[in-house]
Amino acid sequence: MSDAPIRVVLADGQRLFRSGLHLIVDSQDDMTVVGEAGDGDEALAVVGATRPDIVLMDVWLPPANGLDAMRRLADAVDVDGPAPRVIMLTGPEPDRHSLEAIRFGASGLLLKDSTPEFVCEAVRTVYAGNTVLASHDLAALFDAPREALRPVPAEYAALTERERKVFAAVVTGASNAEIGGELHLSESTVKTHVGAILRRLGLRDRLQVVAYAYENGLTRGSARLRPTGTAGPPGRRDRDGSRWQGRYRRRG
């Protein structure tokens, strides 16, 4: 990673919130705000002009929503450089848009009432190539009302029994070390299983495993989750490069 500051664009329809976020990000020695946008069209223009590393984007960015902006942003990427990584900002009750943001490629999902320290560390984590998900975001997603669920996907049914156990543990936010301890496997073996699961399900990272599990009803029958902490420093990095915010433990 270079010594140049992390270049950040802020995309949020609320000017006051955006101004506060600007002050927070610019107060850090290793990051700088290179542009702001109040709607999706402006966000695309600003991103194209500034080429940021990270975009902090409201999931309900007008005139449609942040998902529309994400899709248009991906379509606009050209050979001049990689697409910026997107961290979606959501309200106190994450909804289906939050899950869709993960499915469409968001590298992080944060509540808009997260602490300044939490937001800045999330930017660093995503810039380093990892994913972040606030623990209470995950709990809220699992507790949200479900729409009609689809049949279990064939690719999931094709997983081995061991892979399904690893899958279930990944959904709880457990680290490779924790999964290995629970299933009596080495961390390297867990890492191999996680990689195989991602390939077989066509997923990019562990964050998408969470969305996949929820959308396909695969959290049923698992021990319920509870966050053992709220917004704070991200959790430790797994050896496979994944990094999670918050801690999860099984109830009972």
What are the residue boundaries of the structural domains of the chain, listed by start?
A: 6-129, 154-250
Architecture of domain 6-129: 3-Layer(aba) Sandwich (3.40)
Question: What is the residue-averaged pLDDT of the chain?
Answer: 78
Cα 27 off chain centre by: 24
Residue 167: predicted pLDDT = 93
Residue 244: predicted pLDDT = 36
- Decide whether 6-129 matches 154-250 in CATH topology: yes
Residue 132: predicted pLDDT = 84
Give one word for 173, left, alpha or beta, with left for phi > 0 and alpha for psi -120 to 50: left
Give the Cα separation of 214 and 202 in Å (integer).
Answer: 16
Residues 6+ apart with CB under 8 A from 157: none
Q: pTM of this prediction?
A: 0.68
Phi then psi for 120, rounded to 5 degrees?
-65, -40
Give the Cα separation of 247 and 134 in Å (integer).
Answer: 9
Class of domain 154-250: alpha beta
Residue with tokens 């993960």: 102
On whether the CB atoms of residues 227 and 246 are closer than 8 A, the answer is yes
Confidence of residue 184 (pLDDT cuts 50, 70, 90): very high
